[in-house]
Structure formats: C-alpha cells, structure tokens
Amino acid sequence: MIRESTESKDLIDFGAGIGTFSKRLRTAGYHVKCIEPDPLQRQRLEEQGFDTLENITSVADDSASFIFSLNVFEHIHDDSVAIREIRQKLKPGGTLLIYVPAFECLWSSLDEKVYHHRRYTKTTLRCLVEQEGFAIKNVRYADCLGFISALVFRLFNRNASTLTATSISFYDHWLFPPSRVLDRLFDRWFGKNVYVLCRK
C-alpha cells in the first residue's frame, strides 16, 4: 500500500513500536524515520539503526513528504490533536496514510486489553482528516474475512485470552491472503480495518 502511494524514499513512521513495518520498508530501500514515545521501544529501534524521535513535534514544519501510521490512532486519546500536529509537518502536497481498526460493533475485550479508545468507520476517519484540511485520495476498508472472524469472536463474547499465537498465525497464513483478494469486492462496505490516504 505504501509503495504504491509515494515516489519518495524518505518516510516517517508515526508510532513505530518495535519497527515491524519500518524494517520491511527499509529492506525495500526506503529511509524511515521512526516516531516512538515509549523509551524502551525507541531504544530497540535505535539499536536496529533507525533514526528515532520521541514525538512528531521534533520534526521540522513543512518538511515531510510521506507520513504513515499503522494501528496507532486508536490508542491516542485526542486524535484530532495528533492529526493537526502531523499536518503541520507535511510539505504542501505531502501524503498521510492512517490504518486503524474498524467498526465499534467489533469492540471486544481485546480492544480493552490493548488500551484502545475507539474503532473507526470510513465516515469517522474521513471526518477526522478533513476537519484539519486534508484532501482525501482514498478511504477503504480492509480484511473482510477478518471482519467476519472478529464479529464471531464478539458475538460469542470470547475473552481476549482465548487468542493464541497459533490461532493468529493460522489466520495470517491461511485466511488473510484470500481476504486481501476479496477486499477488491467488499472494501467499500466492510472490513476489520479501515484506512485513509490523504494529501495536505
């Protein structure tokens, strides 16, 4: 998704965590600057050779070509403030990609366990970025089979502790690939996640 969305080789990972996505992009030839407030995770990033910053405010205004944030905004109490700060750092014409969990009807004990504040829809995500002056390039759902799996999990009121590394690995290996194919048919209507690609 990122590779198809920018020609720039200089990216900023907003909320990089342990660098899962940044490592893949670096391997593909991109230079990724990591924004990570957690000191332990930031140290791990630095040990892996990443250029790291504690927060986005340390980035020069109007300097970034492409900022992406994957599964981060649902953890931020005031997401409007975060959007405003990110917009300030992007160049005119710069691009922002946000990928987050979708649909409050999928809310479960797992969301509580990992300290989510909310789940989004295309409408709420669109409003979040448009209210700060971004122009929408694309907004879509992702992982339609994941939506069905998460809904079943929610309806049976299963506890987050029932999710195991084995079950997650099974889904990633056997169900996520066909889900990506089916998304071409269903991404306008539903998915476990939702993303927006927008321009300053």
- pLDDT for residue 170: 76
Place of tokens 């009807």: 105
- Give the three-class secondary structure for 159: coil
What amino acid is encoded at 141 in this protein? Answer: Y
**Contacting residues for 81 by C-beta, under 8 A, at least 6 apart:** none
Tokens of 106: 């999928």
Q: Please list the residues that pair with 195 across neighbouring strands.
A: 99, 140
- pLDDT for residue 160: 61
First vs last C-alpha separation in the chain = 18
Q: Please state, in angstroms and rounded to a whole number, the distance separating the CA atoms of residues 130 and 127.
A: 5
Place of tokens 């502790």: 161
- pLDDT for residue 158: 65
**SS3 assignment for 42-111:** HHHHHHCCCEEECCHHHCCCCCEEEEEEECCHHHCCCHHHHHHHHHHHEEEEEEEEEEEEECHHHCCHHH
Phi, psi of 187 (to 5 degrees): -70, -10
pLDDT tens by residue, the chain, 200 residues: 777 677 788 999 999 999 999 999 999 999 999 999 999 999 999 999 999 999 999 999 999 999 999 999 999 999 999 999 999 999 999 999 999 999 999 999 889 999 999 999 999 999 999 999 999 999 999 999 999 999 988 888 666 666 666 777 777 777 888 999 999 999 999 999 999 999 99
- Give the three-class secondary structure for 196: strand
What amino acid is encoded at 31 in this protein? Answer: H
- pLDDT for residue 107: 94
Q: Please state, in angstroms and rounded to a whole number, the distance separating the CA atoms of residues 191 and 145.
A: 7
